[in-house]
Each structure stands twice: as structure tokens, then as C-alpha cells.
Amino acid sequence: MPKVIGGIDVLVIGSGAAGLRAAIEARRKRAGRVIVVSKGRTGRDSNTVISLEGELNHGTKK
């Protein structure tokens, strides 16, 4: 894990849609150092992908 030198203003756990949006908003609100921690690839290995698949397939016949 990389070392962070200095303080962290906002720590976001998770890199799904909600986590990335939270990080963007923190920076827009002038937060100094924003760190996003993820167990996988940013925006790819989250439940957001699973949720979106359900939304896209809702109401379609298989």
C-alpha cells in the first residue's frame, strides 16, 4: 500500500459510482487532499456494474 505523507481531508472507501461522485464533490467543495481507496479497478469492480445491468435489463424478456 502506498504511504500518504501529510493529512487527509476526505477518505472515500469504494470506487463505484457513489464513491467516485463523493470524491468529485469533495474536491468541488475545496477539500484539500481526497483519497479514494478501492479493492479493485476504479469504476469496474463494484456493485454499480451489477446494479446497472439490472436497470438495463428491467422489463425485457429473456
pLDDT at position 58: 57
pLDDT at 9: 93
Rounded average pLDDT per 10-residue block, the chain, 62 residues: 78 90 95 90 70 60 52
Q: List the grid coordinates of 51.
A: 446494479
Strand, coil or helix: 23: helix
**Which pLDDT score, from 0 to 100, does residue 40 have?**
80
Distances (CA, A) of 50 to 8, 47, 57: 31, 5, 11
Query: Structural domain boundaries of the chain?
Result: 10-56
